[in-house]
Structure 1
Amino acid sequence: MTIRNLAIVAVALTLTACSLLKPGDKVEEGGKSAATSPADETASGRDVPTVRLITAQTPAVRTYRKIGARHIYNKYANRIYKGKIPPLVYAVVVVETDIDATGKVIRVDFSRTPSHAPEVPPMIAELIKATSPLPNPGKLGAHTYVDTWLWDKSGKFQIDSLTLGQRSR
C-alpha cells in the first residue's frame, strides 16, 4: 500500500469513528458512549436552545425556503421586482430568521449587510416581522430560515429562492 492509500484509509477510519457517536452522546470511561437527554443537558447547566442553529441545506430546508419566500411574495405582491433583476443590484442582504415550530418569527438577524445601504436591513426586518407567522415548518420544526434578499433602488426586491436571475446588462 502506498502512503497516499494509507492516508486515505486513516481519514476514512477517523470519519467512521466520528459518525458512531450521535450528537449529544458522551463518551464514558472505557470508550463506551452514553446518550444524553435534553433533561441531562439542562441539569448540567447547559442551556438548551429553543430555536435550532442554522440547518444544512437539505431538500426539506430548500423546499421550506421557497415556501417562506412565497409567503412573503404573496404578502408584498406590489413590492416584488418583476423580471430579471439588474446586474448591479442596489443591496444584497443575507437574512437569518429564527422561527418557532409553528412558523412564528422569533428574531431577524443578518449575516451580510450592505455598508452603502444601511437603511435596507431594518426595512427587510420589518417586512418579515409583518408576515409572521410564516407557514408551519412541519417536521423541520423550529429553525433559522436563511435567505438572500436582492434589493433594487426602487424599493422592490426579489428573494434568492424565487429569483428570476439577473440581466446580463
Structure 2
Amino acid sequence: MKCSPDLRRLTQAGALLCTLWLAACGSGPTVPGQLSSATPPRAGVAAAPPRPSNAANARDYRRDAARHIYDINAKRIYEGKLPALLYAIGTLEVNVDATGKVVSMRWMRAPKHAPEVIAEIERTVLAASPFPVATKLGKVTYTDTWLWDKGGSFQLDTLSEGQL
C-alpha cells in the first residue's frame, strides 16, 4: 500500500514524538534492529551532571555537546581516521532546553538506507540527556553530522579525525 508523502511525514513525526515521550517517562523505546554492538550509555549508573557550557553561539555549543556524547560513549567512538567508505552518514538537528534536556530532534539528512542507524543515533542522543547547560544561551539548537562505521562505531563531524 502506498502512502502519500504528507501521511508518511505525519507518521514519522508521530513516531519521533512517541520516542521523545517514552524517553521523558524514563523508559526507553525498544528499537527493532538495534545494533548489537551498542552498549547502553550509563546503564544503571548515576552519572554526575555534565559541565556547563559557556558557548556564545550554537556552533560553539556543538563542540561541548559532541564532547559530552563522546564522554558517555567512549567505547563506541571510532579511533583514528575513518575508512574511506562509511556505512552511514546523517545530519541531525537537536533542540536542547535551558536545563540541558533534549526536547526534539530533526533529521536534516537521514541515512534512510540504514534505519537501524537512525534509531540508534536517536537513542544515543536521548540517552545522553541532559546535555551541558548553555549558560549564555539558555535553550539552544545545534546540528552535527554522524559518521557511522559498519561495526557500529562512530565519530561526530565536530570532533572527527578525518577519513583515509
> TM-score per shorter chain, which class?
0.5 to 0.7
Structure 1 moving runs of 4+ over 6 Å? none
CA–CA separation in structure 2 for the residues paired with 1:60 and 1:96: 15
Query: What residue in structure 1 maps to residue 25 of structure 2?
Result: none
Query: TM-score normalised to the size of structure 1?
Result: 0.62
Q: Which moved more, 1:113-122 or 1:70-79?
A: 113-122
CA-CA distance at 1:103 after TM superposition: 1.2
For 2:115, what is the secondary structure of its paired residue? coil
User: 1:59 offset after TM fit, Å?
Assistant: 6.5
Instruction: Give me the TM-score of the superposition, normalised by structure 2.
Output: 0.64
- Unaligned stretches of 5+ residues in structure 1: 1-57
Q: What is residue 3 of structure 1 aligned with on the other side?
A: none
Q: Does 1:134 align with 2:150?
A: no
Match of 1:43 in 2: none
Q: How does 1:37-116 map to 2 (within 5 A)?
A: 60-116=57-113
Gaps spanning 5+ residues in structure 2: where?
Answer: 1-54
How many aligned positions are there?
Answer: 110
Higher relative contact order (CA 8 A, sep 6+): 2
Aligned partner letter, 1:140: L
Between the aligned partners of 1:108 and 1:126, the Cα distance in structure 2 is 11
Question: Which whole-Å CA distance do the structure 1 matches of 2:68 and 2:112 have between them?
Answer: 28
Cα shift at 1:105: 0.6
Identity of aligned residues (%): 51
| Cα distance between partner residues in 2 of 1:143 and 1:74 | 20
Aligned with residue 120 of structure 1, among 103, 112, 117: 117
